[in-house]
Amino acid sequence: MVDGSRDVDVEKLISFSKDLVQFLKDDKDVGFLKQCLEQSNAVQLQCLSEYQTLRSSIQDYEAKINMCNQRIAEAQSEAAGDAEIDTLQKEREQKLQIEQLLREELRVITDEIDDLDHQRASIEEQMQSLEKLERDQLRADRNSVHLDPS
């Protein structure tokens, strides 16, 4: 049986070979195969062309994306700079407010010092007046003691 199945396989192979030779001898079939090959080559060239176009487009888009990323980084840097400027301006405003409060406090203290100076001057004048009155009183008492021999 093994030998019989082997014969069948060889017979099938011979039959297939004859069909193939017959197929290749037929001009119609060869023409059809040539046409298919030409169409295949045309499709391959078209695909290659589209591939190159798409690759170029992808590179252009990647360049645009990189440029956008740079702009984003610059904008973020500027935003950080703006935020820092805002912070510094707020600090400056706070310091100006503190300075204004200190100036007001200094003005109040200066006014108090001026008032105290006026009070001191007034007290000194009163003391001088009292001293003068005491001296005048002493003179008057001395004069009355000298005038009154009793």
Confirm whether pTM is higher than 0.85. no
What pLDDT score was predicted for residue 115? 94
Q: What secondary structure does DSSP assign to the chain, as a single string?
A: -HHHHHHHHHHHHHHHHHHHHHHHH-HHHHHHHHHHHHHHHHHHHHHHHHHHHHHHHHHHHHHHHHHHHHHHHHHHHHHHHHHHHHHHHHHHHHHHHHHHHHHHHHHHHHHHHHHHHHHHHHHHHHHHHHHHHHHHHHHHHHHHHHH---
Every domain of the chain and the residues it spans? 2-147
pLDDT one digit per residue (tens) for the chain, 150 residues: 345 555 567 888 888 888 877 777 766 667 777 888 899 899 899 989 999 999 999 999 999 999 999 998 888 888 777 778 888 899 999 999 999 999 999 999 999 999 999 999 999 999 999 999 999 999 888 888 766 555
